[in-house]
Each structure stands twice: as structure tokens, then as C-alpha cells.
Amino acid sequence: MDGRLLLDCPPQTLAHLYQLGGRPDDIDLVLLSHAHSDHIGGIDLLLLGVVVEHGDRLRERPLAIAGPPGIRTRVGELIGSSRRLPGPRDPRLRWFEQEGGSSFTWQDIRIDCISVEHAPDLPALGYRVRIGGRTLAYTGDARLTPAIDELAAGSDLLIVECGGARERGHFEWDDVRELRGRLPAATRVLVTHYDHMTAPERSSLPNIELAEDLARYEL
């Protein structure tokens, strides 16, 4: 978002960032919704670009990484013993481990954190991001619950996942349609994390946009 913010960091993040003309140095903040590897698997290579390429030199500003409680430990398990993950007090990185219902500000970006339901015993957050006078809401992986309505309230754009199986803690397409019907017409809905092979015809998804890899969306 705005070339400065990552919503989750899947394994293909760094490659896509370079394809879009960006660099790790451009990123100010990474919001990790939960600890599953398809959402944090790219953090290793991102930190390679942020920490190792700089060596002991500091960026002009530290990179902030936020997520639910325990996210730094989970990232450490993923990376293993490596200088790509320096100590928690290293000035090149700033960690925010947030509970649902909390908020924080980084640079000029305001973030509200809302607990969502995904997998049993796994903390998961949705985020409402305020930047440049606009508000974006992001569900991460979640099932449709009242928390999603709270998350979406007042947003200009809602990014919602559709993993396709409620029993696995995801939206199904009927859930997306139901939520779209409850939101103001002015709120755009952009669906991500869906199976392109089984997605319904776009004509059956009125006022719903389907995200595509490497596409750009104006907010």
C-alpha cells in the first residue's frame, strides 16, 4: 500500500516487489495477520534485503513488523539461526506484537488491530489502516463473524480473503456476497487469497473486485 506497507509477506513477496519496481528499502511497515507460513514465508528474504544488504549500516528509518503475540518467535522458527533476524533491540527493526482491540502508529500510518477467527488456538488479526486520509481494512485469513463488520466499518476499501472453506476458518463466496450486501455502496470490496480455477463468474459478484497478481489498485 502506497509503496510503503505490506499486508502479510508470503513467499513470493520479494520477487513481486522487484517486478513492480520496488525495493525492500521502500517498505516502512509489514503487517502479519497470523503465523501460517503462506502469510509469513517471505519475511526471510525481505529481511535479507533490509538487514544483510545493509550490514551494520542503518537504513534512514527502521523497518517495523507487526503481528499477533508470539509473531517474532514464529519468524525466528522460520528463519532459524541467522543474522537476518537480529536481536529484538536492534535499531534496524521495530517489532509490534499486538492484541486485538489495540492500536498503534508508525510514521504517519495509524493501525487498528481487530481479533478475527481463523484456526483454533492461533491468534489472528485483521487490520484497519489509515494513511493519507483514506482507510483500508484487511481481514487476513478469517471466517465471517461480527468482528469482520467491526473491521470494515468506515473503510474506503475492504480486502477480504476467500479461502473457500468455513470449516478451515475461511470465507466462502456466499460469505463475501453477504458481507458486500451489508456494506455501504461506497466501500469497495477486493477479494484475495482465492482459487482462480474455481472462482465464480464475475457477473455473479456484483460490486466485488477480484485481486490479480502484480495488479495496482487506486485508493
How many domains in the chain?
1
User: What gap in Å lies between CA 128 and CA 136, rounded to an integer?
Assistant: 6
Q: Is residue 52 part of a domain?
A: yes
Q: CA 39 from chain center: how many Å?
A: 8
Say whether 88 sits in a helix, a strand or coil: coil
The pLDDT of residue 112: 98
**Is pTM beyond 0.85 here?**
yes
The CATH number of residue 64's host domain is: 3.60.15.10
Instruction: Provide the residue range defining the domain that includes 202.
Output: 5-210
Q: Is residue 215 part of a domain?
A: no
155 to each of 83, 128, 177, 216, how far by Cα in Å? 39, 8, 17, 18
49 to each of 28, 46, 115, 168, how far by Cα in Å? 13, 5, 30, 34
Q: Per-residue pLDDT tens for 33-54?
A: 999 999 999 999 898 877 766 5
Q: What percent of the chain has pLDDT over 70?
A: 95
Q: Is residue 142 part of a domain?
A: yes
Q: Is residue 133 part of a domain?
A: yes
Q: Is residue 217 part of a domain?
A: no
Q: Is residue 33 part of a domain?
A: yes
Q: Is residue 219 part of a domain?
A: no
Q: Is residue 218 part of a domain?
A: no
